[in-house]
Amino acid sequence: MEKLSALEQRVIGCLIEKQVSTPDVYPLTLNSLINACNQKSNRDPVMSLSEGEVQSVLNNLGARRLVNNVAGFNARAAKYQHRFCNTEFGELHFNDGELAIICELLLRGPQTPGELRSRCARLHAFGDVGEVDACLTSLMEKGPFVVKLERQPGKRESRYAHLFGDVPVSEPVAAAPASGREAELLARIAELEAEVMRLQQRLERYES
């Protein structure tokens, strides 16, 4: 199993996320991918990657056959899709729940089953935390692709991390949970960012 750098994790995670959540604008142009990488919602840490940085990551991932340009070299605007999993080109195959968990772990780092259930909702609807636990168990048995981290003092739940990069040595102290109003605003921001991406993609298609 190949290890991914932090920036590679962000790019792969964004491509998986947009493939599932906004399939009408997937594969992504370079500009759309940059915007996805630099989103302020559903990302931890928040990044501010330049075009050169994202293109460099894409070049590295392309050389490893984890990403490809489906528009072809002669097209005016490149369009990128991942080949990380669930393709005929690789050995990694996940069901919808497992894929949602992997995506969220790539985008936000270690999380508890409860956090994963809430944050995966836009990618896959888990009926309860038990379904999340079942997927986590499957991912630990398959690869393993995830690992259960030691529970922090005073915390009720352990967090889980993916194994496609370096495993965190220790976990940061979790921030206080968002209030209902804050949660609504964050969800609205995510919706608006997705809509901006759709409009940007349509404009790029019109200009090409």
Could you give the domains of the chain?
6-90+185-207 (1.10.10.10), 99-174 (1.10.10.10)
Give the pTM.
Answer: 0.80
Tokens of 187: 């969800």
136-176 per-position pLDDT tens digit: 999 999 989 999 999 888 888 899 999 999 876 544 333 34
Tokens of 35: 């915007």
58-98 per-position pLDDT tens digit: 999 999 999 999 986 555 789 999 999 999 878 899 999 99
